Amino acid sequence: MGNELRFDGKVAIVTGAGNGLGRSHALLLASRGAKVVVNDLGGSSTGGGRGSEAADKVVAEIKAAGGEAVANYDSVEDGTKIVQTALDTWKRVDIVINNAGILRDTSFQKMTEQDWELIYRVHVLGAFRVTQAVWPHLRDQGYGRILFTASAAGIYGNFGQANYSMAKLGLVGFANTLAIEGRKKNILVNAIAPIAGSRMTETILPKEVVDALRPEYVSPLAAWLCHEDCQETGALFEVGGGFMAKLRWERTRGKVFKLGRAISPEAVQKSWESITGFTGATHPTDVASGMQPVMDNLTSQSKGGNEFIDVDAALGYEFPETRSSYDERDLSLYALGVGAAQDPLDTKELQYVYELHGEGFRPLPTYGVIPALNSVLKMSAEGKQAPGLNYGLDRVLHGEQYTELLRPLPAKATLRHKGRIKDIFDKGKNALVVTEVTSYDAQTGEPLVRNEITTFVRGAGGWGGERGPVTDIPPPERAPDAVITEKTHENQALLYRLSGDWNPLHADPEFARNFGFQKPILHGLCTFGYVGRHVIKAFANGDPRLFKSIRVRFADTVLPGETLRTEMWKDGERVIIRCKAVERDKVVISNAAVELHKEIPTAQAKPAAQASAPAAASGSSASARVFGAIRAYVAQHPELITQVANVYLFKLTQPDSAWTLDLKNGAGSVQEGAQGKADCTLELTDADFLAMTSGKADPQKLYFGGKLKITGNVMASQKLGFLAKVGPAGEGSAPAKASAAPAPDSGGEKTGNGQAPAIFKALGERLAQKPELARELGAVIQFLVTGPKGSWVVDGRETPGVREGTVEKPDTTVRISDEDLVTLKEDPQSITRLYMQGKLRVDGDVLAARRLRFL
């Protein structure tokens, strides 16, 4: 066979070759052209006696098959004589298989020194003598292959074979070292741990198993490892019964104790899982890789710690990324939780809790801590703690908080949170652990909020570590520039905890008493929200978008129902804060400051679904062209200023952009961005805006489907009907259909398929017959009907009657579908049910709507 592995011209020594494995190795090598020294002392499997019959018989078999062989009857302890036989016969040696061995099995308790010594002499000393005798010849000729015979007993241990296990694993170490020393001279050394039937294994394995484990299943691997084409060296293989596998050392990642502090048995006990767990195990291949963790650690210095905090393990740890979402409801609930809108007629405070606020809904910026803290609390509840932090909730207090908004919070968002242990400080008896959490817009990847949560850990300090920077912010020695005093409610903690802080200390009276408090205490972050809101009111003209960051230290507890007094000093763009609980004259927030922006930061544009060129600075080029066409139309029609007299803000999303249409001031204008105060704000996605202005989407359907949000002067949106006359706005858009408003104007599209026209015609006839019904109504009601769309005015005041179209300032606006209008006509009592189900929307004078039962 052309691809047969041959050993022509090679001389091999096989020790213990009179029986079993050795015989099989010798026969296979000889059959492939090797000249073989068949060594066998001829003794028993336990080492007794000697003779020549076993070796001679194998030599005879080789010669009968046409091969070359010579017998040697020396003990492997006389290794020099065995090697000399090869040199005398063929003048060289290329291969050595150290296979000779005996057994002296007995339990360690019964093992004699002779049992131990004899096994050592045959297996270890004998292999040493043979290999040492041949080593110089292999080096001189620059070639050699050596194979040692180990055993599973040496790898894993086996009862009654302490001496044998010692010897066999010793041969593995011997082989590994020779592999290193012989590599440069092309002397490759390996070891096998065979499972085969032999005189030795028959004492420890059942006969039927021994019969099945033929030596011939082992020898092919031995032959390959001894072939000149094989470049494997320093390896250990298990082989037998048709199975062959390479073994390697595996080591756990382990636990590294930084040097410079005492390592206690208790520390080892606590780290036992890390020391013994094989998750992320490594596989060192040599002494250097085995020593690498130790050598790396020699250059390190422990940052210290104790039973509660292992600074080396915890510092820099990065938590798994988490996600969360919030919307206007969450923001409103939070705002109520920190005392906002106690005066429901305060329009500046109302913007924090009412999503349809005329000037736009504004999130309180201090809410920025809530998603981050909730992500930390959620991981804590799931038992996910940073390694090295070995304390419970009973030891911790929220010591300090820093929250920075990289831009104003959106009204709703999905966030990604990335957290890490940023700093750990030793404060003597106690310790501080600083967790940094950065929250990103999940859609754009834009960072929105950065939080530093400083946890005060009682009784966990004292290791002599860094004390940390001085963060004191003393107030000026003068009267405050502004003071706001506000009383908290008795249930303030119960309301605030709905934003996510579930610690029973703030809700459970018995739990609070167990910790030495007369009743549940207010969350520090609730007070944090109060003072942040006070600064916005005093120094940002109530505009939360100018809020940049806040840093506070929680100095004392607050009890729900107590009065908070926030004292504020203006210092450039910074406001220094001190907050007191008035009833106890206790400072509850100290070393605190808020930074304000000079200008409102803008949002990072979200990635568009596909590129368009040339792209506008914000928004898509298509929507930019629409506004460009509107700008040109406004310039040609100055009469719009007197006809419309409103400022509109279009807020588009995905991607974000904003456009101001001013039809109130000067000659009118269209500008990118939010410019000044808008009378009417329309919010929708960029795609819906393009669909609406191209006639592909119905404004009413967008509005009632929640895709178009209108705030401010809703009726002003109905004055945008002129947009239908703007004309083509360029590629990708078309002229506005009729209006971006939810209600069509009097010249809008009408269809005769619905029942509304007939209903309002009949109503008009009835009012003409019974004018007292109009007086009973006493109001002007605008009906905006959908499916199909239409608009009618029911006038019960100035010009009694019913007419199709719209009116500028109705007392009440009713929005209803054609189908539900039929229901209302047939069952006037259904008005309440339709309203509660959201099928009937009433804006303006709601009480006037109740008088519609005359239908």
Q: Could you report the per-residue pLDDT of 407-427, keeping only the tens digit for each?
A: 999 999 999 999 999 999 999
Residue 609 reports pLDDT greater than 90: no
What average pLDDT does range 1-26 have in this prediction? 92
In DSSP terms, 402 is beta-bridged to 452, 551
Residue 747: predicted pLDDT: 32
pLDDT band of 612, cuts 50, 70, 90? very low
Q: Could you report the per-residue pLDDT of 193-213, keeping only the tens digit for each?
A: 998 655 555 555 666 666 668
HSE-CB for 507 with a 13 A CA cutoff: 10
Residue 745 reports pLDDT greater than 50: no
Of the candidates 73, 164, 217, 530, the residue annotated as catalytic is: 164
Nearest to 557 by CA among 577, 578, 533, 527: 527
Kindly report the three-state secondary structure assignment for every residue of 128-179: HHHHHHHHHHHHHHCCEEEEEECCHHHHHCCCCCHHHHHHHHHHHHHHHHHH
> Cβ atoms within 10 A of the Cβ of 482, count?
15
> Cβ atoms within 10 A of the Cβ of 109, count?
6
d(CA 488, CA 337): 10
Q: Which range scores top for mean pLDDT: 127-131, 635-639, 684-688?
A: 127-131
Average pLDDT, the chain: 87
Nearest to 774 by CA among 804, 800, 802: 800
**The amino acid at 228:** E
Q: Could you report the per-residue pLDDT of 218-242, keeping only the tens digit for each?
A: 999 999 999 999 999 999 999 998 8
Residue 733 reports pLDDT greater than 70: no
Residue 581: predicted pLDDT: 97
Residue 502: predicted pLDDT: 77
DSSP, collapsed to helix, strand or coil, labels residue 129 as helix
Angle between helix axes 621-636 and 686-693 (nearest 10 degrees) is 50
Residue 203, token pair as written in the block: 């004492």
Number of H helices, E strands in the chain: 28, 28
Q: Which helix (H) or strand (E) holds 332?
A: helix 328-337
d(CA 566, CA 564): 6
Asked, as a colleague might, if the bond just before 344 is cis with ω within 30 of 0, I would say no
What average pLDDT does range 6-17 have in this prediction? 97
543, burial (CB in 10 Å: exposed 0-12, middle 13-18, buried 19+): middle
What average pLDDT does range 435-444 have in this prediction? 94
What average pLDDT does range 636-644 have in this prediction? 83
What average pLDDT does range 667-678 have in this prediction? 87
Residue 266 reports pLDDT greater than 60: yes
CB within 8 Å of 786: residues ≥ 6 apart: 700, 701, 704, 815, 816, 817, 818
Residue 286: predicted pLDDT: 86
Give catalytic status of residue 164 as yes or no. Answer: yes
pLDDT band of 786, cuts 50, 70, 90? confident
Task: Say if residues 240 and 214 touch (Cβ distance below 8 Å).
Answer: no
Task: Say if residues 386 and 305 touch (Cβ distance below 8 Å).
Answer: no
584, burial (CB in 10 Å: exposed 0-12, middle 13-18, buried 19+): middle
Nearest to 511 by CA among 528, 497, 526: 497
- Cα separation of the two ends of the chain: 105
Task: Put residue 833 in one of left, alpha, beta given phi > 0 → left and psi -120 to 50 → alpha.
Answer: alpha
Residue 543: predicted pLDDT: 94
